[in-house]
Amino acid sequence: MGCSSSRSTGAVLIQENNNNSSRRKSIAPELSKNRAVIDSAKALAVLAQSLGPENENVKDALEGIVDPANGSPLHYWSCKGCTTHNGASRNQCVSCNEVKDPSDEMKLAIEDESTAESNDDSSDPLDEALASVECPICFETYQDPVVLPCGHSFCTEHTLSLDDKCPFCREEFADRPAENAHLAMNAKAILSLGEIIDPDRLTIRDAIKPLPDQTTSEEGNKELMRQEQIRLDEQLARELQGREYDHTDNVIQLAAEALFNM
């Protein structure tokens, strides 16, 4: 009887842990708050508008990612995370057949900004598009991008050592970063368009980038080291705050002990 009760209790605890784990898996912000997706979709819209009649086939290929007419993305969040659509309705999720509507807030943001940028002759659509899908830490095209609850996106590898705080806005997050599938799709589309529009520019762009052990990598490492130093400083402050000492105590010694015990 005791064993049966113990097993039942253990099963309940395991179930609770599983529930907590699933809740912590990943929580993505609302699509309208996912800034990198908005920026890259906007850049795709401007890039599509810059294509000539000879590239109509490219515009057609973009339909599954962005609507050139107004810049609104045609892939929507769905209850099953589906990002593909059947032939009957491009707004209809294949997995559950539920018709999805785009976020009005996001649509307006993209429309307003893409219109403004398309009227700016000083900006190059391809350069703007490529910049919109660059990780702000390593300055490379996003690799397996993830998005934090605050809406900032980074390559997955750069989030592994984060101390539950966004490197940019310092907003804390309790759940692990969510996969940013929409951003990955937009990045792939922009690179594909770049190969068609100006392949030489992409070749030159890759050639002039610093090697992994040079500037770009160093800047990314410096940012991660800065975040780690902030974490250590905060931990040191907590350690010192918890220690009671009078005027005869050596503060430097206390700090050294606190660091040694981390």
DSSP 165-191: B-TTT--B-SSPPEE-HHHHHHHHHHH
One domain, residues 254 and 186: no
One domain, residues 204 and 217: no
Q: Structural domain tally of the chain?
A: 2
Q: What is the structure's pLDDT at 232?
A: 67
One domain, residues 127 and 227: no
Residues 127 and 47: beta-carbon distance below 8 Å: no
One domain, residues 117 and 186: yes
One domain, residues 42 and 88: yes
- Is residue 138 included in any domain, yes or no? no
Is the pLDDT assigned to residue 235 strictly greater than 60?
Answer: yes
Q: b/e per residue, 4-15, with b = 16+ CB within 10 A?
A: eeeeeeeeeeee
One domain, residues 69 and 185: yes
One domain, residues 108 and 49: yes
One domain, residues 77 and 203: yes
One domain, residues 202 and 242: no
Q: How many other β-carbons are positioned within 10 Å of the β-carbon of residue 153? A: 27
- Is residue 157 included in any domain, yes or no? no
Is the pLDDT assigned to residue 218 strictly greater than 50?
Answer: yes
Tell me which residue range forms the domain holding 250. Answer: 211-262
- Is residue 13 included in any domain, yes or no? no
Q: What is the structure's pLDDT at 186?
A: 85
Q: What is the structure's pLDDT at 197?
A: 77
One domain, residues 91 and 189: yes
93 vs 27: CA distance, rounded Å = 21
Q: What is the structure's pLDDT at 36?
A: 84
- Is residue 159 included in any domain, yes or no? no
Residues 154 and 186: beta-carbon distance below 8 Å: no
pLDDT digits (tens, 9 = 90+) for 118-171: 445 557 888 888 888 999 888 889 989 999 888 889 998 888 877 788 888 888
Is the pLDDT assigned to residue 18 strictly greater than 50?
Answer: no
Q: Say whether pTM exceeds 0.75.
A: no
- Is residue 45 included in any domain, yes or no? yes
The pLDDT of 72-85, averaged and rounded, is: 39
One domain, residues 51 and 105: yes
One domain, residues 191 and 257: no
- Is residue 168 included in any domain, yes or no? no
Q: What is the structure's pLDDT at 201?
A: 72
- Is residue 189 included in any domain, yes or no? yes
Which of 209, 227, 249 represents a domain boundary (last residue)? 209
- Is residue 38 included in any domain, yes or no? yes
pLDDT higher at 31 or 78: 31
